[in-house]
C-alpha cells in the first residue's frame, strides 16, 4: 500500500507542471532581461524551485532553452537530480555550484556536469563570447540522453559579472534539442533570445 501511495504521489507531482506563453520583454530572477520576438512556452514545475527558467518550442522532451539570471556564489545550478537515490543518512551529494574565481574552462565543466546527470556529454567546441554584455564563454556539446535514448545537440553561453555585494554573479543560457532536424531549425529562435540578453542593474 505504501508503495502504491508513493507511486500515486509521483503521478500527482508529475501533473504539477504548467505551461504559459512568453512574449516581449521577460525578466529572469529580477536581473536577466531578454526580449522574446517569436514567442516561447515557459514550463513551470511546481514540484521544484529550479534556479533557472525553462522555455520550450516543441515541448520539454524535445527542446529546452534554460536561462539562469544572477546566480550567486554558493548557489547550485541544478536542484533536482534525474536518477539514483542515496541512503537516507548519507552525505549530501555534490551539486554543480557556482563559486567566484572560476576560469572559462571551469564554467564549461560546471555546465557539463549539469547535463552529465542526464546522459553522456561531449564538448565539441569552446570559444570566447559576450553574453548579457559581459565577457564569457560559449560552448557546443552533444548529449546522448539516457531517459529516451535520444541524440541531442546543445549550446550554452555563460558569463560572470563582478558584483559589489556578492563578488560575482553568473548569467547563462543553454539550448538543447534533438540532433536530427530540431536543433538546426530551432537554434535561430534561441539565439535571438540570447542575443537580446542584458543585465538589469538594481539600485541598492
Partner 1 sequence: MGMPMTDRRAFLRSACRHCVGLGALGGLSAFAADLSGVKVPQRFGRPAIDTDEGGLWGLMDREEQRLRRSPLTIHDKAFRQYLQDIVCKLAGDFCPDIRVYPVRVPHFNAMMAPNGMMVVWSGLMLRAQNEAQLAAVLGHELGHYMERHTVEQLRAQKEHAVLSTLVGLVGGVGTFLGQISLSASLFAFSREHEGRADRIGVRLMKHGGYDAREAANVWDNLLQEMKVTGGKEAGKSGDMFDTHPTSAGRRDELLALAGGDAGDKGEARYRQAIAPMRLGWLQDEVKRGQYEESLVLFDRMLARDAKDAEVLYARGEVYRLREDGGDVERALADLDRASRLPRPPAETFRSLGLIHKERNDRVAAAQAFQSYLAQAPQAADAAMVRSYLTEFQP
For residue 17, count other CB atoms closer than 10 A to its CB.
Answer: 14
String marking each residue 27-66 x if it binds partner 1 according to CB under 8 A: ----------------x-x-xx-x---x-----xx-----
Q: Which is nearer to partner 1, 27 or 82 (CB)?
A: 82
Beta carbons within 8 Å of 79's beta carbon, 6+ residues apart: 48, 49, 50, 51, 95
The span from the CA of 23 to the CA of 149, in Å, is: 32
Q: H or E segment at 79?
A: none
Instruction: Give yes or no for residue 71 binding partner 1 (CB under 8 A).
Output: no
Beta carbon of residue 200, minimum distance to partner 1 (angstroms, whole number): 26
Instruction: Give yes or no for residue 87 binding partner 1 (CB under 8 A).
Output: yes
The span from the CA of 90 to the CA of 58, in Å, is: 39
Is the Cβ–Cβ distance between 88 and 117 less than 8 Å?
A: no
Binding test (CB under 8 A) with partner 1, winner from 5, 89, 164, 165: 89
Identify which of 30, 59, 60 has the alpha carbon closest to the alpha carbon of residue 171: 30
Beta carbon of residue 103, minimum distance to partner 1 (angstroms, whole number): 6
The footprint of partner 1 (CB under 8 A) covers 3-4, 6-7, 9-11, 13-14, 17, 43, 45, 47-48, 50, 54, 60-61, 78, 80, 82-91, 93-96, 103-106, 109, 112-113, 116-121, 123-128, 137, 139-140, 144, 146-151
Amino acid at each position: 500500500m505504501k508503495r502504491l501511495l508513493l507511486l500515486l504521489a509521483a503521478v500527482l507531482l508529475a501533473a504539477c507542471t504548467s505551461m504559459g506563453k512568453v512574449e516581449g520583454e521577460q525578466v529572469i530572477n529580477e536581473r536577466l532581461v531578454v526580449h522574446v520576438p517569436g514567442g516561447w512556452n515557459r514550463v513551470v514545475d511546481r514540484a521544484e524551485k529550479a534556479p533557472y527558467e525553462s522555455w520550450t518550442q516543441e515541448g520539454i522532451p524535445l527542446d529546452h532553452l534554460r536561462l539562469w539570471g544572477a546566480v550567486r556564489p554558493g548557489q547550485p545550478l541544478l536542484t533536482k537530480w534525474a536518477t539514483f537515490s542515496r541512503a537516507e543518512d548519507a552525505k549530501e551529494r555534490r551539486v554543480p555550484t557556482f563559486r567566484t574565481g572560476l576560469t572559462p574552462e571551469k564554467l564549461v565543466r560546471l555546465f557539463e556536469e549539469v547535463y552529465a546527470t542526464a546522459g553522456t556529454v561531449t564538448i565539441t567546441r569552446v570559444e570566447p563570447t559576450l553574453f548579457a554584455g559581459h565577457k564569457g564563454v560559449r560552448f557546443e556539446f552533444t548529449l546522448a540522453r539516457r531517459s529516451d535514448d535520444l541524440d541531442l545537440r546543445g549550446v550554452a553561453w555563460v558569463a560572470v559579472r563582478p558584483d559589489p555585494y556578492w563578488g560575482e554573479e553568473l548569467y547563462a543560457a543553454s539550448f538543447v534539442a534533438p540532433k536530427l532536424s530540431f536543433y538546426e531549425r530551432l537554434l535561430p529562435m534561441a539565439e535571438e533570445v540570447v542575443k537580446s540578453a542584458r543585465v538589469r542593474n538594481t539600485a541598492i
